[in-house]
Amino acid sequence: MSAELSVGILGYKFMGKAHANALQRLPTFFPDAPETSLDVVCGRDEDAASEAAERLGFDRVVTDWADAIDQVDVFYNLGPNSVHVEPSVYALENDVHVLCEKPLAPTLEGAERMAEAAAESDAVAATAFNYRFVPAIQYAKNLIEAGELGEIRHVRANYLQDWLSDPEAPWTWRMDADTAGSGALGDLGAHSIDLARFLVDDLTSVSGHLQTFVDERPVPGEDETRPVTVDDAYSAQVEFANGAMGTFEATRYANGRKNANTIEINGSKGSVKFDLERLNELDVLLEDDRGFQRVLVTDEDDPYVEHWWPPGHVLGWEHTFVHENYEFLSAAAAGETDYAPGFVEGLGVQRALDAIERSDAKREWVDV
């Protein structure tokens, strides 16, 4: 492997743009990050992939993912969930580092195969849970680890969007069980569950409920509809290993909520509240406080902030990807195969997603 890590990406749309932007920001803001070369974009549609490669700053294009993986040090799996398993396993078997978007796989079996491949590989595997890398989330984690909230009793985590409220909103792969696995549950719930596992503990049992409100949707540019075979929304009650209890919800139908990813944690001594739509802030209540205090998490000694701007010069959603790429690439360069969030954490979340689906099917509590 050369000193510079060559990068290949599979999938060049929304997540391709987010990660390419992050890779380009690193040399300026995180000069100690490993150097990378943006080498190859992989996509079945060569023309579209070429256009994307040029726009995102990559050198070339291939149409076969194995070709891409054979030629790079680091593989970013940013495609639909149905292409997470095979290419990621192939990369790890060939000791190519992998960062894979969430949820890790469409099924629990797929995620288990990926985690096994990661355990046997000398390469580093990462699951792209970018919200762990929000400074305010790491600030909350530090408070919890320092015991400032005391014994954790409640977790309330919601992820609310509204882009499917309109029944005429077009069909996409995110609505197909074979391609996506699940709907709001895997796409949004995976983030909430990862944050809860990161900040609090493992989930041990769940009572889940899934709902699909609109069964078919128009296919863009065609005179037909396709069935929606995933959930539009889920809710779950959960028990944590440490005895805490939790309530979770995600939907694509919460009119007026664009990307409301919130988590509130209450302990015996204090509480924290986070809302992605105010991501520079954390509401904190400590032992002697009579109400929540708004902490602006933009001081130089706050996580990652010294790399950016002076206090108060707020960060945005895209910065979470820069921090995530910094940590992942640093671990890859150092060969830290116990990197977290790795495929172990991706699998942990997938077990919870699977349990919520099982619970819904049986209409009873199940173990994770």
Judged by the rule CB under 6 A, the positions of this chain that interact with ligand SOE are 161, 187, 259
Nearer to ligand SOE, 232 or 239 (CB): 232
Distance CA 139, CA 135 (A): 6
Nearer to ligand SOE, 97 or 102 (CB): 102
From the CB of 330, what's the least distance to ligand SOE, in Å? 23
From the CB of 252, what's the least distance to ligand SOE, in Å? 7
Nearest to 189 by CA among 215, 170, 211, 216: 211
Nearer to ligand SOE, 161 or 266 (CB): 161
227, β-bridge pairs:
216
From the CB of 341, what's the least distance to ligand SOE, in Å? 13
Nearer to ligand SOE, 292 or 317 (CB): 317
Nearest to 37 by CA among 51, 23, 54, 17: 23
From the CB of 151, what's the least distance to ligand SOE, in Å? 30
How many C-beta atoms surround the C-beta of residue 175 within 10 A?
Answer: 24
Distance CA 332, CA 235 (A): 36
- Burial classification of residue 252, based on how many CB atoms lie within 10 Å of its CB (0-12 exposed, 13-18 middle, 19 or more buried): buried
Nearer to ligand SOE, 187 or 327 (CB): 187
Nearer to ligand SOE, 240 or 253 (CB): 253
Residue nearest to ligand SOE (CB): 187
Nearer to ligand SOE, 132 or 284 (CB): 132
Give CA angle at 41 (11, 25), nearest 5°. Answer: 85
Which segments within 181-338 are labelled E, that is strand?
Answer: 203-211, 216-218, 225-227, 233-240, 245-251, 260-267, 271-275, 281-285, 293-296
Nearer to ligand SOE, 73 or 187 (CB): 187
Give CA angle at 198 (196, 200), nearest 5°. Answer: 55
Amino acid at 279: L
From the CB of 148, what's the least distance to ligand SOE, in Å? 28
From the CB of 320, what's the least distance to ligand SOE, in Å? 9
Nearest to 193 by CA among 81, 349, 324: 349
From the CB of 161, what's the least distance to ligand SOE, in Å? 6
Distance CA 151, CA 14 (A): 39
Three-state DSSP state, 203: strand
Three-state DSSP state, 176: coil
Q: Give Cα separations from 214 to 66, 85, 184 (angstroms).
A: 37, 29, 13
Nearer to ligand SOE, 73 or 101 (CB): 101
From the CB of 18, what's the least distance to ligand SOE, in Å? 9
From the CB of 165, what's the least distance to ligand SOE, in Å? 13
Given the DSSP bridges, would you call strands 125-127 and 281-285 parallel, antiparallel or unpaired?
A: unpaired
